[in-house]
Amino acid sequence: MEGLSRPLRIATYNVHRCIGRDRRYDPERTLSVIRDLDSDVLALQELHWRPDDALHLLNDFAARLGYVPVAGPTLLDHTGHYGNVLLSRLPVGSVNRIDLTVAGREPRGALDVRLHSPQGALQVVATHLGLRPSERRAQTRQLLACIERQPTDASVLMGDLNEWFLWGRPLHWLRWFFKATPAPATFPSSFPLFALDRIWITPRHRLRELKVHKSRLAQEASDHLPLRATIELGGS
């Protein structure tokens, strides 16, 4: 992949179980959006896959697009696994699956993955936070502590943070830790009003560009639009 002499492209995308705004289950449509993103590292939320099938959705997506898959299921039942996924073109080092579940609420989690590139080591934390403010406060504290304990050349936190309270404590803590970062709206995909999907990076100067992927296909494939960023690890 071009020897990675260029900046890295990263993205986050809540795929809504591959069910579009037309209520149609269409993994091929989701795959097309992911292909269009052309990201080196991609966090997916709400992916559903069958672990007992050699060609289940997670491995199929990864194989067809040239990624290494890292699974972070939060729900497991007779229909399969559901939750977070990281797809990477970079070599994968350590993987830490973090339980963010709050008692009495839907199970939540995060993937804390160390990636290696010629430009340096990158920590990526991919997550999908809870719906209640009290959940998100506890989960944000836990994630920030994890990032502080794992120094690398750069650390990225990305995913569906479900945080729409601009005055809430989670966003206050994240802005303090990562510094001011653009927050374009990604939800709902038909007419975005809320910046539920976020990408944060520290050190902040590593971020070169941050924008929403607003293709017509992306507007139909999920209720969220993908968010993508360009980051640069090399240099001072």
pLDDT in tens, 119-142: 889 999 999 999 999 999 999 999
- CB contact at 8 A, 50 and 81: yes
Rg over CA atoms, the chain: 16
**How far apart are alpha carbons 125 and 32 in whole angstroms?**
24
Average pLDDT of the residues in 211-227: 98
Domains by residue range for the chain, with CATH: 9-231 (3.60.10.10)
Number of H helices, E strands in the chain: 5, 11
Q: What is the pLDDT of residue 235?
A: 63
pLDDT surpassing 80 at residue 164: yes
Which two three-digit tokens encode residue 34?
A: 């992911």
Q: What is the pLDDT of residue 2?
A: 47
Q: Considering only CA atoms, which of 177, 197, 201 is closest in space to residue 186?
A: 197
Of 24-38, 93-107, 119-133, 146-160, where does mean pLDDT reach its minimum?
146-160
Most confident range, picked from 78-82, 112-116, 150-154, 167-171: 112-116
pLDDT surpassing 90 at residue 57: no
Average pLDDT of the residues in 55-81: 84
pLDDT surpassing 80 at residue 112: yes
More confident residue, 81 or 109: 109
pLDDT surpassing 70 at residue 211: yes
- CB contact at 8 A, 161 and 196: yes
- CB contact at 8 A, 161 and 198: yes
**How far apart are alpha carbons 65 and 182 in whole angstroms?**
29
pLDDT surpassing 80 at residue 3: no
Please report which confidence band the pLDDT of residue 53 belongs to, taking 50, 70 and 90 as the band edges: low
pLDDT surpassing 80 at residue 33: yes
Total Cβ atoms within 10 A of residue 210 = 19
Q: What is the pLDDT of residue 73?
A: 82
Q: What is the pLDDT of residue 30?
A: 96
> What share of the chain in percent tops pLDDT 90?
78
pLDDT surpassing 90 at residue 5: no
Q: Considering only CA atoms, which of 64, 70, 110 is closest in space to residue 90?
A: 70
Vertex 128: Cα angle to 229 and 62 (nearest 5): 65
Strand ranges for the chain from DSSP E: 8-14, 41-49, 68-77, 80-88, 92-99, 109-117, 120-128, 154-160, 197-202, 207-212, 227-231
- CB contact at 8 A, 126 and 71: no
DSSP string, 27-61: HHHHHHHHHHH--SEEEEEEEEE-TTSTT-HHHHH
Mean pLDDT of the chain: 91
Place of tokens 């494939």: 221
